[in-house]
Amino acid sequence: MTTIAQYKEVKRVAVLMPAFCEERTVGDAVSRARKYLPDVIVVDDASTDETAARAEAAGAAVLRRVVNGGKGEAMPQGFRYVLEQGFDAVITLDADGFHDPDEIPKFLEAYQRTHLPVLIGNRMAEMKSIPVVRRWTIRMMRYWLDRLLGVYVPDPPCGFRFYRCDVLPFILEEKSSLPSEFETLFNIASRRIRVGSVRVTKQPKRHKSLIAPFRDVIRFSRVLSKYYKKMHKPRKKIRLIDEEI
C-alpha cells in the first residue's frame, strides 16, 4: 500500500491546462484562472494555430511540444514541470472552455476541509444535461472502478482535478498513450490513495467536442484489462528441492 501524508500544507498551487488548437478559448481560460491562482501552465500540444501566443499573452507559462501526443503525453510533461518548480499542488482543467475556472476555489476549499490528496470534479448533479451515451459511459466507468478497486468516483472521466504534488511521482511511474483521466485514476486507485469529489457545473460547448463516447469505452476497457491482469497476475511458483544430507 502506498503511504502518503494524511495532511500536508498547501501554499503554492499551479493551474495546468493541456491545449491543442484552442486559440479561441485559451486566453480567456488563462485570464480567469489567474484571478485565483497566478501560476498557470499551458502545455501546447504542437498546435498549428495561435494557442501558445494567446496563452502567453494572457500570462501563462507555456510548454511547447514539437509533436502532438495527446493528453497522455502533454499531462505528464506538465506534471514534471510542476514538480521541478516546487509547487505543493496542481489543479488541472481543459483550455477549451468546458471547465469553468471560476470554480477553482471549490477545489481549494475542499482540500482544506477534507485533506484528501486527490479531488475529482463531479458533473453528475446535472445528469439530464449529459447526452445519454455519455451518461451510460460514465456509469460504466464508475461501476468498474468501484467493483475492481473499491473506489467510488461519481464522474471518473472528468479532467477538472486537484492533485497534491506528493501524489504526482506515483502517477508518473507508468507511461501510457491513453487519455490521462483514465490511466491516472486507475494508477491512483490501485495504490489506495484517497480520492474525493467536488461538484462542478457542466459548461456549454464552445465548439465541437473531440470526445467520442464509444472511443472512450474502448480506451477505458484497455485500461481496465491492463489493471485487471496486473492485479490477478499469478505469482511465480517456487520449486522446493529436497537435498539429501
Residue at 130 is within a domain:
yes
- pTM (two decimals): 0.84
Expressed as residue numbers, the domain containing 146 is 13-231
- Can you tell me which residue has the cell 498557470? 40
Q: At what angle do helices 132-149 and 213-231 cross, to 10 degrees?
A: 10
Which residue pairs, CB below 8 angstroms and at least 24 apart, start in 234-237?
none
Residue at 239 is within a domain:
no
Give phi and psi for 40, each to the nearest 5: -115, 130
Kindly report the CATH number assigned to the domain that includes residue 164. 3.90.550.10
Instruction: Specify the 3-state DSSP secondary structure of 132.
Output: helix
Residue at 245 is within a domain:
no
Convert the pLDDT of each residue in 196-217 to its tens digit: 999 998 766 554 444 456 666 6
Residue at 163 is within a domain:
yes
Confidence bin at 128 (pLDDT 50/70/90): low
CA 214 – CA 71 distance, rounded (Å): 18
Distance from the Cα of residue 112 to its chain's centroid? 20
Residue at 242 is within a domain:
no
- Can you tell me which residue has the cell 517456487? 238
- Asked if 83 and 121 count as a contact pair (C-beta separation under 8 A), the reply is no
Convert the pLDDT of each residue in 1-57 to its tens digit: 456 777 789 999 999 999 999 999 999 999 999 999 999 999 999 999 999 999 999
157, β-bridge pairs:
none
Residue at 244 is within a domain:
no
Residue at 240 is within a domain:
no
Sheet holding 118-122, edge to edge: 61-64, 40-44, 13-19, 89-92, 161-164, 118-122, 195-199
Least confident window among 3-12, 64-73, 102-111, 154-163: 3-12
Going by C-alpha positions, the residue among 35, 47, 158 that lies closest to residue 93 is 158
Number of domains in the chain: 1
